[in-house]
Amino acid sequence: MQSYREKGIEQVISRMLLGLIHHNTARKLHRARRQRLTASRTASADNPSCIALRNSNANICFAKHKKRIPMIDLTNIKLLSREMLRLKLQPYQRHFDHENSDHRLIILLGHRGVGKTTLLAQQLLNSVDGDLQSDKILYVPIDHFLLNNEKIYLIAERFQMMGGQTIAFDEIHKYPNWSMELKSINDTFPKLKVLASGSSALEIHKGSHDLSRRAILTYIHGLSLREYINLNLKTAFENYSLKNILSHHEKLAHPIISTLDENNHKILDLLQRYLETGYYPYFLALQNKQEYLLTIEQDIHTTIESDLLAIYPHINGISLKKIKQLFSFIAESVPFTPNWSKIKSLLSIGDTRTLQTYFKYLEDAGLIRTLLSASQKLQKIEQPAKVLLNNTNQMFALSTASPNPGNLRETFIINTLKNAKHEVTLADKADFVVDKNIILEVGGRTKDNSQIKNQKNAYLICDDIECGISNKIPLWLFGFLS
């Protein structure tokens, strides 16, 4: 028989052997587990169904722990899209840059009320032959509560998975990180066409992700006189280049006047109505003049208080108040010749650069037009010598009395020329220099050549005349400028 001592030694040895076995087994299990993990990582590089789960030490891929992002239900958004398209459907077609209409990413820029949403709706419906029920188009109003803060990338992803072809995002400037997600949508879904609209102040090249090389930018302006007449009278007058108007104004004006006379309309009467209530397309829905002008005034306040803040979130309450005061100061004084020292003192602005920035905000938002003098343009001095409101309808909306006829003429001519992408500066001996070599003097019907005498390539632009002669051109014809 074994002694107690021998039994104790045997038990100790048995436990040691058992522990060694367990240790070897554990090492083998650990080695096998590491081999499986290595194989899993290798496979995950080619296996999109595996996702990486990050911990503090390593990235380990487990297919069985795949986290699924819930798919967005587009049912309500589709219903909203169809209803909004139905409401926005208009019998008239706005001008669009057809050369770039097939581009995959198009952004429409313009200030409030000029018809960006209508143009988006038209482009969507034109792509499906007017079928409101088509599943190939989707209109997404960014600020609608039904979106419930959904990511536009996920909306686009789900839409294209369901066979969608064209998606439009309205008021994109109200969406945070808009540039990053539009870039991602454009890069990820090559078969999806994207349209977007935003404020004219939206700086595409300064977004968090530069879209200037990916997107086609189209600036939408208010109606021209020609468009206003065509919409009202169901006519189909064409537009003309500046060169054509300057060289052949007599030949161009007579057929227009004759066509209008046949329908008992006068061009000068139509011009006056346009100057008061014809720039914004919603005049068709608001037949009451006071309601129309009140809408313009409300849009101006919304632009400053909402749109500018959405685009420039760094603007604080004090700065916003000063921008509003500056605009009121301009509106009461147009045509406004800036006295920088006086303005800085009145608005308690410390430096000229800040004041220049405020002017830029207002011009980019479509509220004012600034003009440099020809000499300043050569010297590259970026201080406007003259400031006007953006269009004549704003003048009627903001003025308690009838606007000055001379101011109306100048605002009209600057608006038409700049909307047609012509460069306009103040002339030394006349009113304006266009594209550095065309001199314009603007006035009433009795205006003569005294101010532009002996100047080459100089023209009189006169109000209150139907037809012109030689270098005397009727003001209204610039409303047909292309």
Positions of E strands within 336-415: 368-371, 386-389
The DSSP result for 179-242, as a single string, is: HHHHHHHHHH-TT-EEEEEE-TT--GGGSSS--TTTPEEEE-----HHHHHHHHH---PPPB-H
Amino acid 313: pLDDT: 85
Amino acid 21: pLDDT: 47
Start-to-end C-alpha separation, the chain? 119
CATH T-level fold of 75-219: Rossmann fold (3.40.50)
Instruction: Please give the average per-residue pLDDT across 436-464, as a whole number.
Output: 94
Q: How many helices (H) and strands (E) does the chain have?
A: 16, 14
Q: Which amino acid is at 132?
A: L
Contact predicate 423/371, CB 8 Å: no
Lowest mean pLDDT of 193-207, 219-233, 441-455, name the range: 193-207
Residues with Cβ within 8 Å of 131's Cβ and at least 6 positions away in sequence, in order, are 125
pLDDT at 348 over 60: yes
Amino acid 9: pLDDT: 47
Average pLDDT, rounded, for the chain: 85
CA torsion, ordered 449, 455, 457, 462, to nearest 10 deg:
-20
Percentage above 70 pLDDT, the chain: 81
Q: pLDDT tens across 190-213, in order?
A: 999 999 999 877 766 555 466 767
Q: Distance (Å, rounded) from C-alpha 261 to C-alpha 245?
A: 21
The DSSP result for 110-148, as a single string, is: --TTSSHHHHHHHHHHHTTTT-TT-TTEEEEETT-GGGT
Query: Is residue 4 very low, low, confident or very high in pLDDT (cuts 50, 70, 90)?
Result: very low
Instruction: Tell me the range of 330-339, 445-454, 462-471 where mean pLDDT is highest.
Output: 462-471
Q: pLDDT tens across 358-391, in order?
A: 999 999 999 999 999 877 655 555 678 899 999 9
Q: Distance (Å, rounded) from C-alpha 408 to C-alpha 54?
A: 66
Enter the tokens of residue 450: 């005294």
pLDDT at 409 over 70: yes
Q: pLDDT tens across 128-187, in order?
A: 999 999 999 999 999 899 887 889 999 999 999 999 999 999 999 889 888 899 999 999
Q: pLDDT tens across 60-93, in order?
A: 333 344 445 567 889 999 999 999 999 888 777 7
Q: Distance (Å, rounded) from C-alpha 66 to C-alpha 53?
A: 9
